[in-house]
Structure 1
Amino acid sequence: MIAVLILVFIVCLVLRFPIAFSLGISCLAYVLVKGIPLVILPAKMYSGIDVFILLSVPGFILSGNLMNAGGLTEKIIAFCNHLMGHIRGGLALANIGTSMLFAGISGTAISDTASIGAVIIPAMKKEGYEAGFSCAVTASSSTVGPIIPPSVPMIIAATLSGLSVGRLFLAGAIPGLLLGMGMMGVAYYISKKRKYPKHPRSSFKQVAKGFLDTFWSLLMTFIILFGIVGGIFTPTEASIIAVLYALLIGTFVYKKLNLKNIQHIVLDSMKTSASLMVLIGFANLFGWILLTERLPQVISEGILDFSNNKFVVLLLINILLIFVGTFMETIAALLVLFPILLKVALAVGVDPIHFAVIAVLNLMIGLTTPPVGICLFVSSSIGKVSMTEVSKSSLPFLGISFLVLILVTLFPEISLFLPKLFMD
């Protein structure tokens, strides 16, 4: 019967159904063929979303949209350009720096690519950067955001495993910084080789003004992270605080929010949150069927029969997650695969916090892995460049991403140092 589930799921993906509907239709097909009462569908979907910590996701989505509508993207780009614009390829470096700072506002790679790319890709093309390079930098750097806290994928991983959100946030900080700094090194090398433009050094006054313009938004990230880590409030409470903070800053400091655009922002955030909750509900139903058919145990036994070596097992998991990440959205992939693979990792002695970072990092890399990486598609459509050209230009950045993944996999302390320092 499991063949029916997987076959229908694959057919729906090939027909380009949304991933949530692909999961739902395949589950319906399985239930009908198996003769299970249809009441199981809403029951299992509801149990999947009836988790307190998931209440934080709509809050973070809304707060991010409120801050972004306040003109935050342009302010962060301007600040990063003041800091790095005088270096060869400064706008490319500012692009990556913006993604690192934007991480606390967005939390998802696709929204990062779309929001930042809409502003900075045309600006880079206008200054003489190759279109493929501009799109590749934007898509690749967007994968840094969901590693650096706060991160929606990390919240989902915590929901699925019962791990501490605060620990996961801290665990992603150093890998995220390594990824961002590595990409900056690649961007600088390519820019210097191709003689991309640089600007006159900004004055201290311009840098200070740029910092003040972004200070209030960056303070929100600080409040969220250290409030959760310090035990002052839960992730769900933090998301509500973030919404109230974003409303106050966007209305009285940035002065770009009003009743009319707030209504549109709330509506868009509701649509995004609702689609995400439907996805989580269907994924929980999909996971229940997999458990019923003992597929997780079969996969676990298959991997462990192949090898009991921790690093060999992690290598196999890395390959699987990168492959899945190329065509499946990050949260959907986490919902379906993370609980299964976590059991395998625990069986060979991998720390669950360490494994969660590996899983999220893998799926982020998959978003920019040719030929199907979703973020590559988004950036290529913004830059009006062929997918082939963007894929080719993204290869050096992909190489750095794989290097960071190898380091994080082989050296657990890269992920575990901060959680142990602040929470043990």
Structure 2
Amino acid sequence: MVVALIGLLFAMLLFGVPIYISLIFSTFITLALFTDVNSMVAVQRVFGGIDKFVLMALPFFILAANAMDVGGLSKRILNFARALVGHLYGGMAMATQIAAMFFGALSGSSPATVVAIGRIMYPELLNQGYPKKFASGLIIQSGAVSLVIPPSITIILYASATNTSVGSLFLAGLGAGLFFGGFILLFIYLYARYKNFPKGKRSSAKEIWKAIKDASWSLAVPIIIIGGISFGIFTPTEAAGVSAIYAIFVGMFVYKEIDGKKLYKLCFDSAKTSAQVLILVAAASAFGWALTVAQAPQMLAGFVAETFTSQWTFLIFLNLMLLVIGMFVDSTIALVVIAPLILASALGLGIDPIHLGIVMVLNLAIGTFTPPFGLNIFVANSITRLKMNEMLPGIMQFLWVSLIGLLIVTFIPFISTILPELIYG
């Protein structure tokens, strides 16, 4: 049954059938042909997959991300980052990465970060004399950290799939995301110094203060979200609603870049994006349930028990598996389907589910810019107008560095678990 289920899925995908239809129909047909289970149960599982309170946060965070982009919050974060590091070797590139980390903490969306940061910074990087391949690789990679730094949509999906604390995962993602982003910044600085990339002029104290003051409304968002959740002021869903209202308020009445027409459009776009994400989650949930009916978790647990005797060998296997899957499969689907399957095996080996979640999310984050099908590559193509072979050298530079960062996060759980332990004990 497992072979039939997965075989049907890949066959439909090869023929160009939309992903969510492939997931639902492969589940429906397999149940009808190979089990005594009523196929209509698959339909119930589709709706059951999104009947979870924690998923209510998704549309609000998507709305918040769009409001921040349209409302000018991302532009002011960029100016703030440039004022801080623009005078260093590779300062403009470092500012791009820092801005992506901040915007990731505002939006939780990798493609949204690539678009919001890339369309402003890519022309700036070229004007400053950066090679096209390096600039495009930087822009494509920059969105990856958005999947790790809270409020990450992907982390919310992991929490929903495994019944793990969203608050603890957000804190773990903050620690791992800051480390991962800092690791990329170190590479940018050293590489820029080696290649003698241009330095910008040093900002005066007055210019830095102005940048901080202009960005202060934007920088308050992650404090509101993470602080509110960590200290029990509101739930992740309530935090999402607060961040959306806050972003719209700032865009309309503080920065005054959102009018009635733009508000309608960003709400419409957010609803469309939310529907696209949630229908994938619903379909993947039904597919994951069918795998459970086929006893895939038990088979996987038996394989792991026989093959891997330590946490480290299991984590190496998990990294390799997810990196390959992330090249071809959307991170939403991969997470919702795979996380429940491997959770029991990981717990049996004594792996912290919080650390496991961060390792999985970081793997799939790297998958968003891994050739040939990384989503960020296609999103960035509309900005860079470069062919794959032109972007590939720059992508590979950041891919190798990211893999080293992934290994460090994987084998030093302290990076992920320190903040949840300090806050929650």
TM over 0.5: yes
**Range with greater deviation from structure 2 (371-380 or 298-307):** 371-380
Supply the distance in 2 between the matched residues of 1:246 and 1:200 (Cα, whole angstroms): 31
Supply the distance in 2 between the matched residues of 1:15 and 1:201 (Cα, whole angstroms): 55
CA contact (8 A) 2:63 2:266 kept: yes
**Alpha-carbon shift at residue 388 of structure 1 (Å):** 2.5
Q: Which residue of 2 aligns with 1:54?
A: 55
Q: Which residue of 2 aligns with 1:24?
A: 24
Supply the distance in 2 between the matched residues of 1:412 and 1:100 (Cα, whole angstroms): 21
Q: Which residue of 2 aligns with 1:11?
A: 11
Q: Which runs of 4+ in 1 moved over 3 A?
A: 15-18, 34-38
TM-superposition CA deviations, 1:291-337 (whole Å, max 9, x none): 00001211221122112211101110111011111111211110110
Supply the distance in 2 between the matched residues of 1:224 and 1:275 (Cα, whole angstroms): 24
Q: Which residue of 2 aligns with 1:391?
A: 392
TM-score by length of 2: 0.96
Supply the distance in 2 between the matched residues of 1:133 and 1:86 (Cα, whole angstroms): 19
What letter matches 1:418 in structure 2?
A: L
Q: Which residue of 2 aligns with 1:416?
A: 417
| 2:141 alignment partner, SS class | helix
TM-superposition CA deviations, 1:345-396 (whole Å, max 9, x none): 1111101111111110111112222333222232244212222332222223
CA contact (8 A) 2:137 2:397 kept: no
Supply the distance in 2 between the matched residues of 1:413 and 1:72 (Cα, whole angstroms): 33
CA contact (8 A) 1:326 1:374 kept: no
**Alpha-carbon shift at residue 175 of structure 1 (Å):** 1.5
| 1:49 alignment partner, SS class | coil
CA contact (8 A) 1:132 1:385 kept: no
Q: Which residue of 1 aligns with 2:91?
A: 90
Please provide the CA RMSD for this pair.
1.6
Supply the distance in 2 between the matched residues of 1:90 and 1:12 (Cα, whole angstroms): 46
Do structure 1's residue 238 and structure 2's residue 239 form an aligned pair?
Answer: yes
CA contact (8 A) 2:76 2:218 kept: no
Supply the distance in 1 between the matched residues of 2:116 and 2:22 (Cα, whole angstroms): 27
| 2:22 alignment partner, SS class | helix
**Alpha-carbon shift at residue 68 of structure 1 (Å):** 1.2
| 2:106 alignment partner, SS class | coil
TM-score by length of 1: 0.96
CA contact (8 A) 2:83 2:203 kept: yes
Supply the distance in 2 between the matched residues of 1:320 and 1:198 (Cα, whole angstroms): 40
**Alpha-carbon shift at residue 38 of structure 1 (Å):** 4.2
| 2:202 alignment partner, SS class | coil
What letter matches 2:290 in structure 1?
A: I
Supply the distance in 2 between the matched residues of 1:282 and 1:314 (Cα, whole angstroms): 27
CA contact (8 A) 1:408 1:415 kept: yes
Supply the distance in 2 between the matched residues of 1:201 and 1:230 (Cα, whole angstroms): 38
Supply the distance in 1 between the matched residues of 2:94 and 2:57 (Cα, whole angstroms): 32
**Alpha-carbon shift at residue 276 of structure 1 (Å):** 1.3
Supply the distance in 2 between the matched residues of 1:78 and 1:152 (Cα, whole angstroms): 26
Q: Which residue of 1 aligns with 2:69?
A: 68
Q: Which residue of 2 aligns with 1:222?
A: 223
What letter matches 2:111 in structure 1?
A: I
Supply the distance in 2 between the matched residues of 1:202 and 1:336 (Cα, whole angstroms): 48
Q: Which residue of 2 aligns with 1:211?
A: 212
Residue 124 to residue 18, structure 1, CA distance change in 2 (3 Å): farther
Supply the distance in 2 between the matched residues of 1:22 and 1:119 (Cα, whole angstroms): 37
Q: Which residue of 1 aligns with 2:309?
A: 308
Supply the distance in 2 between the matched residues of 1:17 and 1:250 (Cα, whole angstroms): 39
Supply the distance in 1 between the matched residues of 2:22 and 2:111 (Cα, whole angstroms): 20
What letter matches 1:328 in structure 2?
A: V
What letter matches 2:176 in structure 1?
A: P
CA contact (8 A) 1:362 1:405 kept: yes
Supply the distance in 2 between the matched residues of 1:153 and 1:12 (Cα, whole angstroms): 25
Do structure 1's residue 358 and structure 2's residue 346 form an aligned pair?
Answer: no
Supply the distance in 2 between the matched residues of 1:16 and 1:115 (Cα, whole angstroms): 29
CA contact (8 A) 1:175 1:404 kept: no
Percent identity over paired residues: 36
CA contact (8 A) 2:65 2:112 kept: no
Supply the distance in 1 between the matched residues of 2:301 and 2:172 (Cα, whole angstroms): 25
Supply the distance in 1 between the matched residues of 2:200 and 2:315 (Cα, whole angstroms): 44
CA contact (8 A) 2:57 2:238 kept: yes
Supply the distance in 2 between the matched residues of 1:311 and 1:237 (Cα, whole angstroms): 37
Q: How does 1:24-423 map to 2 (within 5 A)?
A: 24-34=24-34, 36-423=37-424
Supply the distance in 1 between the matched residues of 2:15 and 2:223 (Cα, whole angstroms): 43
Supply the distance in 2 between the matched residues of 1:250 and 1:381 (Cα, whole angstroms): 26
**Alpha-carbon shift at residue 36 of structure 1 (Å):** 4.9
**Alpha-carbon shift at residue 73 of structure 1 (Å):** 2.1
**Alpha-carbon shift at residue 185 of structure 1 (Å):** 1.7
Residue ranges of structure 1 left out of the alignment (5+ in a row): none
Supply the distance in 2 between the matched residues of 1:356 and 1:419 (Cα, whole angstroms): 13
What letter matches 2:6 in structure 1?
A: I
What letter matches 2:217 in structure 1?
A: W
Q: Which residue of 2 aligns with 1:2?
A: 2
Supply the distance in 2 between the matched residues of 1:270 and 1:350 (Cα, whole angstroms): 37
**Range with greater deviation from structure 2 (338-347 or 375-384):** 375-384
Residue ranges of structure 2 left out of the alignment (5+ in a row): none
CA contact (8 A) 2:71 2:256 kept: yes
